[in-house]
Each structure stands twice: as structure tokens, then as C-alpha cells.
Amino acid sequence: MRHFSSMFNGLARSFPIRRGKNSENDDGREAAEAMAKDAKKNDLILRSSGFVNVDGSNNLASVFSKRGRKGVNQDCAFVWEEFGCQADMLFCGIFDGHGPWGHFVAKKVRESMPSSLLCHWQETLAQTSLDPDIDLESDKKHQRFDIWKHSYLKTCAAVDQELQQCRKIDSFYSGTTALTIVRQGDLMYVANIGDSRAVLATTSDDGDLIPIQLTVDFKPNLPQEAERIIQCKGRVFCLRDEPGVHRVWLPHEESPGLAMSRAFGDYCIKEYGLISVPEVTQRRITSRDQFVVLATDGVWDVISNQEAVQIVSSTPDKAKAAKCLVECAAHAWKKKRKGIAMDDISAICLFFHSSAVSQPEANLVTTSK
């Protein structure tokens, strides 16, 4: 129990241990937000295109976003090295907004989710540590996953409720996806809402770099998703001029036509099968695993998993890997989707063993989108 105890004691210095039910605006959330502010001052947080590579860290995160041809860029990203003041932790996420207020919704969720997750994680960790019926030593990996899964479920419910109550943003017909990863030592926790995708690049027994898709693209035509939507009186079908593009519709209106089955916001259809519940999974990072790509559907609509892995791995400068992938996707849109307005395209490339590679540039570099 030594690792859990030391981790809990470290958090206890920054977080008050709550013994009663409190609102989301309590001391724990304020402490998490204060950590985020300090991390930003110390150049540990990245919100725009660029890269993060902290001295002594095994992580290198490359981020790039490109506006499509549909108006304002509704994609955004977030990287937080030393997440929650834990030297072995990193949080990163990519968010793809949609609807008239989609860019505001995506940024709102981006700003709310990390602090909320940190707050709920410390709560769950504290409760687990103090529960005499739970033996953390018996199965550390399983217990750790349960803690993160429970924390993510509580976080996403709280963030969606907070978004609904936000008077400054009209999210009735607007929403966002959210694909996030927490790396904690050699473990990686992935939580996905929507149709963005995470792909791991790992080395096979033959020495080839191969892709492993870590997430499900939550489209409305997936059997379990369609079943839930139909049971809730929602409808799933394609428009005549969009064969193969399944969308979610209200019972008696051809609206809103969402091309995903899970999202934050979109309260017009939340009663009809759309949910903001994440799928949470875990994976142990080994020496064979090289990097993971998080990208919005603007990438995956035109680039295969294998192509993405090849593009990123062949980029000489890891700090520019995300930009290279995004630019390749933009070029593919012109060739494969002629006559169709290019979607916003965004990616995060998280390298696991970057400490072995020298970086001549500064630890944190940001550029405008």
C-alpha cells in the first residue's frame, strides 16, 4: 500500500479531505483550479498548437489544430504535464465542438474537465484509502482502474450538468466530444465521449510498428448505441444525400441530426438517447509502445490508423509530429473529399520515451492556431 499511501499523503497537503456532501464549487474544486493556475505559470499546460517536453519527463506531447472550411475552428486541445502536482502523471485531451455554439462548448469542457477530474480523483482516492473493507495491496492495478473509472464517470456527469447550467453558453443545440488520457507511470487511462479516436503505435514481434485502436468511434449506427437511442424514442437514419452517414434525430423532427451518439451538451436530444457517459479503459505501457495519437474525426475521415502511425513515426522532429499528421490529413481531404468542405483537423501525439531523445528547443513552445 506504500505507493497509494505516499500518493494520498502528497495530495492531502493540497486538498482538504471532505467528509460530507458538498457542491462542485467547494474547497476541493478550488484547490484543483489553483493547481491548474500554478501549472500554467510553470509552463506545464498547453492549450494551443505547440509541444510540451518537461526536463526529466518521459513524455513529449505534440499538438496541432487546423481550421476547416466550415467557419470558426471548433476543435481544441489540452495538455497538463505533472497533472495534480504528481511528477509521474500527465493529462491530455482533444475536444471537437459542433453546432452554433460548438467552439464555446468545446472550450468550456476543456477548461472544466481537468480540474473536475482531479477533484473527483482525489475524493475517490481518499475514500478508498480510508475504507477498511478495501485492500489496495491485493490488486493495485484493478483498484487503480476502478478509482479512475469512478472519477471519470462522476466528472463527466458533473461537467455536463455544469454546462447545462451555464447561462453564457447556449448548448441546447450545440455540444462537443471529449477524448482524454491520463498517464500515471506505466499505466494509461483512456476516456472517450464521441467520435474522436485514440490509436497506439506499438512494435510487433516482427519489429514492425503497428496501430492498435484504443477507443470506439461512438456513431449512432453501432448496435448498442442505436438500441439505446431507439429505446429512448430517438431515431437513427441517413439522409438521402449522405448515404452511410447515420445521424440521431428527434422523434418527430428532422433535427438535430447528430453524427455521434455521445457528447457533452446537445440537451435538445439528451432525453432521446444521447449520453455523456464515457467509455473508460486502461493499458499498461511497455517498452514496445512508442506513442499514442489522439485526433478528431477530421483526421480519421481521410487517414487510416496505419497511415497515421507511419506519418508520425517518420517525422524527424517529434515536436512537429502533430502538425505533420494534420497537414497530411488536410492534403488527403483535397484528394479524397472533393466538393466537400474540409472539417476542422486536430491531433495530439504523445510520445512515451522521449527522455532518450534530446530536444534542442525550449521545453514549452506554443504557436497560434
Looking from the CA of 217 toward its CB, the CA atoms found within 13 Å total 19
CA 327/CA 341 separation, integer angstroms:
16
pLDDT score at 135: 58
Q: Which residues of 259-278 are buried (b: 16+ CB within 10 A; e: fewer)?
A: bbbbbbbbbbbbebbbbbeb
Q: How many CB atoms lie within 10 A of CB 89?
A: 20
Is 3.30.70.3040 the CATH classification of the domain at 36-128+140-218+276-351? no
pLDDT band for 18, please (50, 70, 90 cuts): very low
Percent of the chain with pLDDT over 90: 72
Chain segment 67-97, per-residue pLDDT in tens: 998 899 999 999 999 999 998 999 999 999 9
Own/partner pairs, 7-15, CB within 8 angstroms, 24+ separation: 7/86, 7/125, 8/125, 8/126, 8/129, 10/85, 10/86, 11/84, 11/85, 11/122, 11/125, 11/126, 12/126, 14/85, 15/119, 15/122, 15/126
Chain segment 264-273, per-residue pLDDT in tens: 999 999 999 9
Of 65, 53, 45, 43, the C-alpha closest to 294 is: 65
- Decide: 11 and 84 in contact? Cβ < 8 Å: yes
Inter-helix orientation angle 321-336/305-313, to 10°? 140
Chain segment 235-280, per-residue pLDDT in tens: 999 999 889 999 999 999 999 999 999 999 999 999 999 999 999 9
pTM as predicted: 0.89
CA 118/CA 278 separation, integer angstroms:
16
Q: What secondary structure letter does DSSP report for 178? A: E
Spell out the domain ranges in the chain. 36-128+140-218+276-351
pLDDT score at 133: 60
Q: In 108-196, which ranges are E strands? A: 175-176, 178-184, 187-193
- Decide: 94 and 113 in contact? Cβ < 8 Å: no
